[in-house]
Structure 1
Amino acid sequence: MDKSNLIVFMTGASGYIGGSVFTSLLKDGYKEIRVLVRQKEQAEIFKKIGTNVTPVIGSLDDSDQLEKESHNANVVLSTADADHLPSVKAMLKGSSSRHQDKNSPSVFIQTSGTGLLTWQDCFYTQPYDDNNYDDIHKRISITAPHRNVDQWIFDHCPSTNGLMTAIIAPSTIYGIGSGPIKKNSVQVMILALAAVARRKAGYVNPEGYKAQWDNVRIEDVVQLFSLLIDGLLNKSIDHGTNGFYSCCANTHTWGDVAKELGKELKKRGLVDTEEISEFEKQYVDRYLWGENKRQWMDSRGLSNRSKKIGWKPSGKSLFETIPSELDYLISIDYFNKNK
C-alpha cells in the first residue's frame, strides 16, 4: 500500500521499543509521523529529525488528546506502557470513530509482553502458542501481567468489527536500539545495574536462577511491527480476537545471564568477582522490580502466528550482544547516573 497519504500516531517513541520502531517508520514514506512526548526537550529532538515528524507534548493521561490524535491517524501504535488501560481505551475510541466516519485505513497495535506468560508455572506446563486459540484465550489468567489491557482489546475489538487491531508481545528484548533517545534494553541491563551496585552479579531467588525466558533482538521486534502494519493495512493477516503475535526467538535462563554478566562486568572492573549469588532484598527492591518476582520466573512462548506472516528472527544471540550493550552503557555513564 502507498503510505505517502497515511498518518501515524504513536506513543513511546522516546523509549527503547518505540524509538526503534519510529526509526524504521522514517524509511516508509508516511505523510506524517506524530509522536507523543512528555518534555519540551524531547520535542526539540524530534523536530530536527524530519519535516514529516511532528512531536505532540502530552501524557498517557490526556485521554481527550489521545482520542483526537488517534482519530486523525491511519496507524496508531501504542508502545509506551503495556499496563495503561485508560490510554488504550482513548486511542481505540479515536481509531474506532475514524474507521466509522472515514473511508480510509484504520490500524491499531498494542505492545504487550510475554511477562503475561509467567503464569505458566501456575496454570500450564507447555510454551504458549500464539497461534493456538485456547493457549491465548483460555489458559492465561486475567490477573497475569498486562492481561487486563489485552483482554479489553480482545473484548472490544473482535475480528468482525472492521477495525484492524493486533497485539504484539515481545519476550526479553536485547541489543542496542536505533531510536533517537533511549537505546538500551531493560531486563538484562537492570541485572547489570544491580550487579554493579553491589559489586557482584546475581539473580532473583533460587527459582529465578533456573527460570527460562524467551528472548528476541530489538531489530526482530521492529521487523514484526513492520509486518503487522503492512498486513493490517492490507487486511491480509489475523486481527482482532485472533490478532495476538508473540516475539520469541531463542531461550535463556537467568542463571546463565548472571554468569555472563559476571564475566563481562569483571573484565571491565565493574564487579569484584565473576562469581554470582542471589541478590539481597535491598537490591531486588531498588533495581529489580521489588515484589514483582514473577518477572524472573518461567516465560515460554511459540511465535507460530508471527512466523506465519513471514517473521524470521535472526542475528546475534543475547549472550553475544552483552559485551556491546555494557560498553554502550559505560559510554553514556548509565551506571553512575542510575545508582
Structure 2
Amino acid sequence: MTTGKNVLVIGPGFIGWNIVDRLVSESYNVTGLVRRAAHGQQLKELSRANFIIGDLDDSTTVKNQTIQHDIIFHTATADHLPSVEAILAGISERAKEGKSTIYIHTSGTSVLNDDADGEYEGDKIYHDNKREEIDSVLDDAPHRPIDLTIVRGAKELGDKAKLAIMIPPLIYGYNPKHQRLSIQIPVLTRFALKHGYSGHVGKGLAVESQIHLDDLTRAYIVLLHHMESSSPSEFLKNPYFFCENGHDTSWKAIAEMIGKGLHKAGKIESPEPRTVPKSDYADLWGEYTPAVVGLNSRSRAVRLRALGWEAKEISVGDSFERFELPELLKE
C-alpha cells in the first residue's frame, strides 16, 4: 500500500497553520478543518490551501474527511477524545479499502507532570527512544488517555496504517504572517498586565523543556517524510516523538523574563516575580494551572535528532523581547 499526498490538518491554528504552509510549499494537496469561514478564507488566500468548515464534535465530518485524505495531522488540541476516535474510525474504513494512512497526533509534555506545583526542580529526564520511560507515566496523566487511545488504535490497525504522537514541551515563537501567539507565555503575560506583577506557581523552581514554533514545524515535516518511507512496525513499537531545543527553563525564569519586559515597557512597577495565590488561578488555567506551568517536564528528542533534525531558532528570551511582547502590548 502507498500513501498519497492529500493532507488533512485538523485545527490549523498556531501550530497547524505553519504545517500547512510547509506542506503546500512541498506540493502536498492540503485541506484545513476550521470552525470559521473567515479563517478558511485566510488559509485559502495566504497559504493556498483548501478548507472545510467543521467542529471537533462533528464526528461524522471528521471521519468522512479522514476517509478522503492520505495523511492526517491533528493540531487542534491534545485532549479531545471524540475527534480522535472519529479519525481512527476513518483510518479503519480506509484500511478496509486497502488504503494506507499516516496520522500524526499532537500531544504535549504535560503528560510528564510530576505534581511539583513549582516547589522543586526535578531531575527526571524522559527520552523518546526509551518507550518504557514514557509508558511509566500514569494512565490518567494530562493528555495520556488520548495518547493511549491512539496506541490501542494503532495496535488494532497493525500494518494498515502508521500512527505517531508528537509531544512538544513549552512552545514559543511568533509568525507575523499568521499573527497567532502561543499559549503559556502569552497567558502569563496577560495575567501580569492584569494583576500588576509577573507570577509563577509555588516557588517557580520546576523546569520544562522548550521549543520554537519553527523548529517544531520542521520536526513535523521531518517526521512525516520518515513515516512515508518507513514500515508501520517502527511506529507500533514506539509511536512517541519529543521535540525540544536542549534548554530546560524554570517557570521562575520565565516569570522573570516577563517581569523584566513589562517593567521596561512601563506596564508594571517591579520586574520581580511573585507566587500566584491559588485564588487567582482562575485567571490562568483554573485547577489545571499547576499541571500547565508548575510541573517538571524534561524531555529529549533523541529520535528526531537521529533523523537529522536539529533546533536552530532564537532563544525564548530573544523571541519574547522581539516578537511576543510587542504583540501582547498592542492588545
Structure 2 length-normalised TM? 0.90
- Tell me how far 1:8 sits from its aligned partner: 0.7
Q: Are 1:225 and 2:220 matched, yes or no?
A: yes
Match of 2:291 among 283, 294, 300: 294
| Alpha-carbon separation, structure 2, partners of 1:216 and 1:316 | 10
Provide the rounded CA distance (Å) in 2 between the counterparts of 1:289 and 1:304: 33
> Which residue, 106, 113, 119 being the options, matches 2:108?
113
Q: Structure 1: which amino acid aligns with 2:139?
A: I
Confirm or deny: 8 A CA contact 1:20 1:179 kept in the other structure: no
Task: Flag the 1:291–1:77 CA change in 2: closer, same or farther, 3 A.
Answer: closer
Does residue 303 of structure 2 align to residue 308 of structure 1? no
Task: In structure 2, give the amino acid aligned to 1:273.
Answer: S
- The change in CA–CA distance for 1:100 and 1:241 in structure 2 (over 3 A counts) is farther
Q: Secondary structure at the match of 2:25?
A: helix
For residues 73-222 of structure 1, the aligned pairs below 5 Å read 73-103=69-99, 105-119=100-114, 126-137=124-135, 139-158=136-155, 160-177=158-175, 180=178, 183-206=180-203, 209-222=204-217
Quick one: which amino acid aligns to residue 88 of structure 1? V
Measure how far apart 1:125 and its partner are. 5.5
Q: CA 1:301–1:267 in 2, change beyond 3 Å: closer, same or farther?
A: same
Q: Is the 8 A contact 1:154 1:241 kept in 2?
A: no
Deviation at 1:259, TM superposition (A): 1.0
Change in Cα spacing, 1:252 to 1:318, as seen in structure 2 (3 Å) is same
Q: Percent identity at matched positions?
A: 26
Query: What do the CA deviations read for 1:130-160 (whole angstroms, capped 9, x no partner)?
Result: 11021122x1100100000101111120384
Change (3 A) 1:192 1:176: same
Supply the distance in 2 between the matched residues of 1:228 and 1:270 (Cα, whole angstroms): 42
Question: Would you say 1:259 and 2:277 are equivalent positions?
Answer: no
The answer to whether 1:39 aligns with 2:16 is no
- C-alpha distance in 2, partners of 1:125/1:273? 31
Q: Secondary structure in 1 aligned to 2:46?
A: coil
* CA contact 2:281–2:289 (8 Å) conserved in 1: no
Q: Distance in 2 between matches of 1:178 and 1:223?
A: 17
Alpha carbons of structure 1 residues 161 and 119: separation in structure 2 relative to 1, 3 Å: farther
Select between 302-311 and 286-295 the one with higher mean Cα deviation. 286-295
Name the aligned partner's letter for residue 259 of structure 2.
G
Contact 1:157–1:241, Cα closer than 8 Å, also in 2: no
Tell me, yes or no, if the aligned pair for 1:194 and 1:288 is still in contact at 8 Å. Answer: no
Using the TM superposition, give the Cα deviation of residue 243 of structure 1 relative to its aligned residue in structure 2, in angstroms. Answer: 1.5
* Deviation string, structure 1 residues 96-141 (Cα, Å, up to 9, x no partner): 32233145x411010000010113869x95211111021122x110
Given that 1:70 and 1:76 are in contact with CA atoms closer than 8 Å, whether structure 2 keeps it comes out as yes
Which structure 2 residues correspond to residues 9-48 of structure 1 after superposition, within 5 A?
Answer: 9-13=8-12, 15-30=13-28, 32-48=29-45
**Mapped pair 1:65 → 2:64:** no
Shift in Å at residue 28 of structure 1?
1.0
Q: Secondary structure, in 3 states, of the residue corresponding to 1:49?
A: helix
Report Cα offsets for 1:59-103 as digits up to 9, x if no partner.
001111111100110110000010101101101211232233145
For 1:194, what is the secondary structure of its paired residue?
helix
> Secondary structure, in 3 states, of the residue corresponding to 1:239?
helix
Name the SS of the counterpart of 1:229 in structure 2: helix
SS of alignment partner, residue 161 of structure 1:
helix
The structure-2 alpha-carbon separation of the partners of 1:170 and 1:69, relative to structure 1 and needing over 3 Å to count, comes to same
- 1:8 maps to amino acid: V
> What corresponds to 1:279 in structure 2?
276
RMSD: 2.2
> What secondary structure does 1:96 align onto?
helix
Measured in 2, the distance between the counterparts of 1:276 and 1:310 equals 39
**CA 1:315–1:44 in 2, change beyond 3 Å: closer, same or farther?**
closer
- In structure 2, the residue matched to 1:337 is none
- Provide structure 2 residue ranges, at least 5 long, that are not aligned to the other structure: none
Cα distance change of structure 1 residues 236 and 327 upon mapping to structure 2, 3 Å threshold:
farther
Give the 3-state SS of the residue equivalent to 1:48 in structure 2.
helix
Q: In the TM superposition, what is the alpha-carbon distance from 1:241 to its structure 2 partner?
A: 4.1
